[in-house]
Amino acid sequence: MTNPLARARGHGSAKSGVHHWIAQRATAVFLLFLLGWMGYAMFMLAAADHAAAQAFIARPFNAALLILLLIMLFYHAMLGLQVVIEDYVHRPAMELTLHLLTRAGAWLGMALGIVNVLKIALGA
Amino acid sequence: MKAKRRPLSPFMIGPYYKPQLTSLMSIAHRASGVFLSLVAAPLLLWWIIAVSSGPEAYRALSGFFSGWFGRLLLAASLLGLFYHLFNGIRHLVWDTGRALEIRDAYRAGFLVLAATALATVGMLGVLLWA
């Protein structure tokens, strides 16, 4: 006899909704702290020239937080846009296209941001 | 048999529905989230790429943000960010099952609006004054 859970998994409401729900909120909590730091960074860099901004991001702690911010921000944005598309776009072809664009945009933004922070931090 | 035209639940926008603070703030949470994803996040990326590209690219960015359109985008991004952030905290509190009474939802709503206005004006002042 199989466990009833085995029959339920992957069907009906037992898909990935809970993971999406939790990930949306977990990234939100991380972003609260990371954006607090970002506010401090904007405060410090409000009148900064290029050299000052470069020096700020190049500090390992700042670079690490900026990379974390990029990961959480684009992931959170991707999950949010996904729900908006699911709620308002009902033509299947259009919906699929927008989902793919959202995901491509989010991963690309994340990768571009991280590569550039690393470039600044490693002084390349 | 002709189907009876039964009343539908009223669409939220229009003459049959009195807007409430809670529903308007809910749709504003979504709208600000979409705006932040499509406008503010790319601006953050542009800042990072400009710093990594060199002084010339950074000057172009500074020039953009000292113009009226750049300042408008910056102001809108800060407004959207602070609103989404403070209202997001309100949502996280709700998710724990707290403050769900109508009175609490309104109180927290007004608190979010006040905090958003204060923080936006404050941060904008710092950035434009500098």
- Per-residue model confidence as pLDDT tens digits over B68-116: 999 999 999 999 999 999 999 999 999 999 999 999 999 999 999 999 9
Mutation target to probe the B interface, by most B beta carbons within 10 A, among A69, A71, A116 is A116
Query: Please, what sign has the CA dihedral across residues A106, A109, A115, A120?
Result: negative
**What is the total count of domains within chain A?**
1
Looking at CATH, the fold of the domain delimited by B22-129 is given as 3 helical TM bundles of succinate and fumarate reductases (1.20.1300)
- Per-residue model confidence as pLDDT tens digits over B15-64: 777 778 999 999 999 999 999 999 999 999 999 999 999 999 999 999 99
Cβ separation of B37 and A80 shorter than 8 Å? yes
Is the CB of residue A104 less than 8 Å away from at least one CB of chain B? no
Cβ separation of B34 and A29 shorter than 8 Å? no
Distance CA B119, CA B78 (A): 9
The ipTM, to two decimals, is 0.88
Min Cα–Cα distance to chain A from B105, Å: 19
Which residues constitute the domain of residue A58? 4-121
DSSP category for residue B9: P
Query: Residue A21 is part of a domain; what is its CATH number?
Result: 1.20.1300.10
Portion 42-101 of B in contact with A at CB < 8 A: 42, 44-45, 48-49, 51-52, 54-55, 58-59, 81, 85, 88-89, 91-92, 95
